[in-house]
Amino acid sequence: MAGGRGTRLNSKVEKPLYDLNGKPLIEYVLDNFRASGVDKIIVALSPHTPITKRFLQDLNFKEFNLEDFDKVNESFMITPGDGYLKDYNYILSVLEKHSKKDTVVFLNSDMPCVNSEIINSVLDEYNTCGLDALSVFVPVVVFNFFDIEYKYKFNNMVPSGLNIVRSENIIQKQKDLIISNEELALNANTRHNVHVAEDYLKTHWLFNPFLSFFSVL
């Protein structure tokens, strides 16, 4: 997901292209998905991110076309840009025209530290849970420990922005997975969080008391 306005960053640069240690935010996410071995990468853009579109075109990303679904592995889709939920529904309404049985992993472009190991671990959990959808939550205590800002919380859990669903635009029965992990908490959507992410990527902190603790709601 790379079509938001990124107003909380207060930057003149489109959020997916915001520089983090000399590299655009979106490039971290692309690299992590490529390393995970997923079959296809589709970047959801909007009218708010025209420069990001040109950036992806320079990387040989093609505009999404259902007729080329089986031929193109890296593409971008232009969503209406009317907010996360509406764009999310739009994406699924397009993908279900190809198949209602594909697995779709959603991750925001401002999540640079969600590496391939995390993506694959969550995919493994999804593939064995027996439900059509899975959402990852991070305990508030992780945000407080690492001094990371967050906007929403539910029962002291913060939605991470990593979600997996079946490719059908319907309400799907969901498993809520709690992962106490700094990488999933590091959403670079404010200046403060960007600084935290910069420090993380420079040091790859060796000590993480919350690393890879899984539980289920």
* One-letter-per-residue 3-state SS of 76-128: EEECCCCCHHHHHHHHHHHHCCCCCCCEEEECCCCCCCCCHHHHHHHHHHHHH
List strand residue ranges (DSSP E) for the chain, in order: 19-20, 23-24, 41-45, 62-63, 74-78, 103-106, 133-139, 157-166, 174-180, 213-216
- Predicted pLDDT at 12: 82
pLDDT at 83: 87
Q: Beta 174-180 vs 133-139: how paired, if at all?
A: parallel
- 203 alpha carbon, distance to own chain's centre: 22
- What's the pLDDT at 51? 95
Q: How big is the CA angle at 15 (ends 126 and 204), to the nearest 5 degrees?
A: 60
Sign of the C-alpha dihedral computed for residues 40, 100, 160 and 207 taken in this order: negative
Distance CA 65, CA 67 (A): 5
pTM of the model: 0.88
Splitting the chain (217 residues) into consecutive groups of 10 residues, what average pLDDT does each group show? 57 89 94 94 93 96 95 94 92 96 95 95 96 97 95 94 96 96 93 92 56 36
Euclidean distance between the first and the last CA atom of the chain, given in angstroms as a whole number:
26
* Alpha-carbon torsion angle 121, 123, 124, 128, nearest 10: 140
Q: Mark out the alpha helices in 37-69 (DSSP H runs).
A: 50-58
Q: What is the pLDDT of residue 201?
A: 87
- Distance separating alpha carbons of residues 2 and 113, to the nearest angstrom: 16
20 by DSSP, 3-state: which?
strand
Residue among 188, 89, 113 at smallest CA distance from 148: 188
| Candidates 3.90.550.10, 3.30.70.360, 3.40.718.10, 1.20.210.10; CATH matching 7-216 | 3.90.550.10
